[in-house]
């Protein structure tokens, strides 16, 4: 990870962006104290995630969509 001061960052921004595009992280400092990071943006997933990854781990009960009991529902409705 490289560190540059603000003057260098302004002067060499295009070069720094090329380095970041290649995967490097650059710390920008003022008076040698880090104030910001210039790093690559995370790319989106290349392909769709397969469905059913947690099929055996998650269980949804049969009454999932049923109305809540009145005593619980009233807790949500009273201010």
Q: What is the pLDDT of residue 5?
A: 96
Distances, alpha carbon 27 to alpha carbons 23, 56, 64, in Å: 13, 44, 49
* Superfamily of structural domain 2-38: YefM-like domain (3.40.1620.10)
CB atoms near residue 25 (< 10 Å): 13
User: How confident is the model over 66-77, as pLDDT tens digits?
Assistant: 988 888 888 888
Distances, alpha carbon 41 to alpha carbons 15, 44, 52, 72, in Å: 17, 9, 28, 44
Mean pLDDT over 3-23 rounds to 96
For the chain, percent of residues with pLDDT exceeding 70: 97
pLDDT at 79 over 80: no
Q: Indicate whether this model's pTM tops 0.85.
A: no
Looking at residue 47, the DSSP 8-state letter turns out to be S
User: How confident is the model over 19-34, as pLDDT tens digits?
Assistant: 999 999 999 999 999 9
Q: Where are the domains of the chain?
A: 2-38
């Amino acid at each position: 990870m490289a560190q540059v001061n603000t003057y260098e960052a302004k002067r060499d921004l295009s070069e720094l962006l090329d380095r970041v595009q290649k995967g490097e992280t650059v710390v920008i400092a003022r008076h040698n104290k880090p104030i910001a990071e210039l790093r690559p943006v995370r790319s989106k997933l290349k392909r769709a995630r397969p469905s059913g990854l947690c099929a055996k781990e998650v269980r949804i009960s049969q009454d999932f969509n049923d109305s809540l009991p009145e005593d619980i529902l009233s807790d949500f409705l009273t201010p």
